[in-house]
Amino acid sequence: MAHKALALGDKIEITKTRFNTNKTYKNDKKYISIIQDIDEDEIVISAPIENGKIIPLEIGSSYILDIYTSGGLFKCKASVARRYKKNNLYFIVFEIKSEMVKSQRRQYYRLSCVLPIAFTNIQEDNWYEGLIIDISGGGLRFNSKYKIDINDELKCKIKLDINNVVHDIEVKGRVILSQIIDFETMRYETRIKFYDIFNEDREKIIKFIFEEDRKRRKRRKGL
């Protein structure tokens, strides 16, 4: 049965299961689409497109669906029930074959963005500025004019606009990568992994990511 958290326009990842074992593997091919209609036991999606070509998923084939909703990431097993064309658009109907399970993997869904960040080494009091270029519930990546040593611990301040309410969030992160990306401007790219983060702050970050992703998909759909 389709979960009540699902909504039209939700992003969906489609992964082929191997030999009907209901297992997926790290390097398995994934297709991306969005939900166009929802029934009690069926989900209608736009046919996936890759390199400008429509991917006609085989009727009867089994897949794992990862569905990104405003309430988090949900996973289920499904099979292709039928395909059809309407107004020169191609659609695929999935029949849901298992319970929809909420997955904790949602914290690793990474959103590309441009957001200001203030950061300092946890051993110092000097604050520096940078720009976040992607963020997830598990960490973030930012550009700045400063080289930071791997394993350094940073305190970061970010502002997130969630449903027109600005939230000030302070998180701690450990540097797992810092490298120069532009010798002319001497800019560095730094990636950090959160640690000792309050669940409330992580949930705010995840909610921001899913709401922002939903808004972007709505804008693209309206073009």
Tens-place pLDDT, residues 169-207: 999 999 998 988 888 888 999 999 999 889 899 889 988
Q: Enter the pTM of the model.
A: 0.57
Alpha carbons 160 and 222: distance in angstroms, whole number: 24
Tens-place pLDDT, residues 6-18: 888 888 889 987 6
94 and 116 assigned to the same domain: no
- Chain-centre distance for alpha carbon 184: 32
**Would the pLDDT of 144 be above 70?**
yes
CATH number where 163 lies: 2.40.10.220
Q: Do residues 30 and 14 lie in contact, with contact meaning Cβ atoms separated by under 8 Å?
A: yes
Higher pLDDT, 153 or 123: 153
pLDDT at 172 (0 to 100): 95
66 and 141 assigned to the same domain: no
pLDDT at 163 (0 to 100): 87
Domain residues for the domain of 95 are 11-107
Among positive and negative, which fits the CA dihedral 15, 19, 24, 29? Answer: negative
75 and 113 assigned to the same domain: no
Tens-place pLDDT, residues 59-80: 999 999 988 876 778 889 999 9
pLDDT at 128 (0 to 100): 96
Q: Tell whether 5 is covered by a domain.
A: no
Tens-place pLDDT, residues 150-165: 999 999 999 999 988 9
Can you give the length of the chain in residues? 223
Alpha carbons 138 and 76: distance in angstroms, whole number: 23
Residue type, 65: L
100 and 113 assigned to the same domain: no
Beta-strand runs (E) in the chain? 11-16, 30-38, 42-46, 49-50, 53-54, 62-69, 72-86, 89-96, 101-103, 111-121, 128-136, 139-144, 153-162, 165-182, 187-195
Tens-place pLDDT, residues 211-223: 888 888 777 666 5
Residue type, 222: G
